[in-house]
Amino acid sequence: MAVGIDDIALFIPRLFVDSADFAMARGLDPAKLKQGLGISKMAIVDTNQDPACLAANACLKLMQRNNLSPHEVGRLYVATESALDESKALNSYVIGMLEQVYGDGSFEHCGGIECKFACVSGSYALYDNANWIRAGESEGKYAIVVVSDIAKYDMGSSGEYTQGAGAIAMLLNDNPRLMQFDPKVTSTSIKNEYDFYRPFGKETPIVHGQYSNLLYLIQVKKAFEAYKKKALETGLIKIRDGETILDHIDYLCMHLPYSNMGKKALSYLLRREWRNLPRWKRIIEQTGMEEPVPKDPRGTIESILADEEYMAKDHEFTKLFTRTKEYQAFYEDKLASSLIASSMIGNLYTASLYLGFRSCLEFEFQKGVDLEGKRFGFGSYGSGSSAMVFSGIIQPTYKEIVKNMNLEAEIGERIKLSLHDYEEIHENRRAPSQSLLDPKNEFVLVGIENSPESKGERKYAFCQ
């Protein structure tokens, strides 16, 4: 059965911090953020926005654009790592808000849960809902998967410049206009890890930044190996001598905690795919140096990171590798467009991968590329940690959706925050009622109960 993504809508807060202002304030070289990490702006939530109203706003846009009534929606899942409650699921808040527009009880037939596994949970939610449709359980109804997060790190930490916020809502059905998932190839890897985690009651995560970078690469590679095996065994992709499966994937979308992580992931995968192929000889001629090997190739992530000589050489080799004709062509053709939105918005945790997908569709279409029949490969990663690799094919009807995509128009007029206002918001010094912007056509948080019998109850309103 053809199951996939029919439409995709996003909601991004309009406030942002400019990476150059931020770098100056923290005594960093602005080039480190812009060129080193690929960050130019970070979306920041206003005082009256939380992950639930970001999710509800994305969902409302999706439903209004498609003239959907709640009766046509059988499942509403929200994947997030910015949960508001240990028990109450984020989708219940979302349904509460949507019912302010569609009427009390209008979603009562609809099922769904909140999903958690750091940034990868949205991909698990998509997969499970796709299987709900495949299993014939949907009775012709749509599933909606919303990914919504606020990426917030401690002030002054090295994570602080990889913040962002936003939500993406995806409509799934058995006759998708946009992209059909490839069947029987979705693959995962999983391992108990502490690269990035947020203990109960703590608003910001504990992060081992360089460890998390390398773990991400290793986990995605493992899931990719499993994907490769399935794609070849099922005959989904056939390769000839001297080829890699990546030659048959037209676009790659990677989880993007910051834009340049996509480049890191691409060079990591390509080096491992290409090093046993005839083309490697040409590549080594261009790099002028052999690929370095760690002192203990079977060592742990810690031992590899501690091998300073190897790390320095590997860094040098990666730089030379990414300047080769072969890498450059692959990067420009298959990855570059997916990175644009991330550098304008920042990390959206669960939504980052799908922002990259959305970005690739819009910017490739703008270049005049015909996307029909193109295969998209997805590398999803969540700390803690798990990766998922899957793929899909763009459908003949895709233009109906993609022709209207306009990231800047969809975000609306963006307002640059002063560092003072940003820090006020970051440190929660302002109440929801002290928002900087006047909300229009959106759900906002109006207050949080503090009395012992209803502590934590959140009130939302739809502002016309």
Q: Using CB under 6 A, list all residues that contact ligand HMG.
A: 29, 31-32, 35-37, 81, 118-119, 158-159, 161-162, 196, 207, 209-210, 212-213, 216, 255, 257-258, 261, 315, 347, 349, 381-383
- 251/54 Cα distance (integer angstroms): 28
Q: Smallest distance from the beta carbon of 427 to ligand HMG, in angstroms?
A: 19
Tokens of 305: 């990171």
Nearer to ligand HMG, 148 or 395 (CB): 148
Q: Smallest distance from the beta carbon of 54 to ligand HMG, in angstroms?
A: 16
One-letter amino acid at 363 equals F
Which residues touch 96 (CB under 8 Å, ≥6 apart)? 460
Cis peptide leading into 385, omega within 30 of 0? yes
Q: Smallest distance from the beta carbon of 255 to ligand HMG, in angstroms?
A: 6
308-313, Cβ contacts within 8 angstroms, sequence gap of 24 or more: 313/289
3-class SS at 339?
helix
- Contact indicator for 71, 99 with CB cutoff of 8 Å: no
- 379/393 Cα distance (integer angstroms): 15
| Helix residue ranges, H only, 397-453 | 399-402, 407-411, 419-426
Nearer to ligand HMG, 168 or 237 (CB): 168
Instruction: Report which secondary-structure segment, H or E, holds 48.
Output: none
Nearer to ligand HMG, 148 or 435 (CB): 148
Q: Smallest distance from the beta carbon of 380 to ligand HMG, in angstroms?
A: 9
Q: Smallest distance from the beta carbon of 382 to ligand HMG, in angstroms?
A: 4
Nearer to ligand HMG, 210 or 234 (CB): 210
Q: Smallest distance from the beta carbon of 463 to ligand HMG, in angstroms?
A: 30
Exposure b/e, 105-125, CB count within 10 A at least 16 = b: ebbeebebbbbbbbbbbbbbb
Q: Smallest distance from the beta carbon of 415 to ligand HMG, in angstroms?
A: 25
Candidates 230, 257, 65, 218; CA nearest to 144 is 65
Q: Smallest distance from the beta carbon of 374 to ligand HMG, in angstroms?
A: 25
CA dihedral sign of residues 423, 421, 444, 126: negative
Residue 298's CB: how many other CB atoms inside 10 A?
7
DSSP letter assigned to residue 35: I
Nearer to ligand HMG, 48 or 338 (CB): 338
Nearer to ligand HMG, 110 or 351 (CB): 351
Residue nearest to ligand HMG (CB): 36
Nearer to ligand HMG, 159 or 176 (CB): 159
Tokens of 389: 């690799």
Q: Smallest distance from the beta carbon of 352 to ligand HMG, in angstroms?
A: 7
| DSSP codes of every residue in 210-231 | HHHHHHHHHHHHHHHHHHHHHH
Candidates 443, 446, 438, 445; CA nearest to 413 is 438
Q: Smallest distance from the beta carbon of 386 to ligand HMG, in angstroms?
A: 9
Nearer to ligand HMG, 77 or 142 (CB): 77
Nearer to ligand HMG, 78 or 119 (CB): 119
Candidates 250, 251, 246, 254; CA nearest to 228 is 246
SS (H, E, C) 101-127: HHCCCCCCCCECCEECECECHHHHHHH
Nearer to ligand HMG, 13 or 432 (CB): 13
- 416/130 Cα distance (integer angstroms): 39
Q: Smallest distance from the beta carbon of 117 to ligand HMG, in angstroms?
A: 8
Nearer to ligand HMG, 218 or 446 (CB): 218
Nearer to ligand HMG, 69 or 158 (CB): 158
- Contact indicator for 244, 269 with CB cutoff of 8 Å: no
How many residues does this entry show for the chain?
464
Residue at token pair 């990390």:
347
Q: Smallest distance from the beta carbon of 311 to ligand HMG, in angstroms?
A: 10
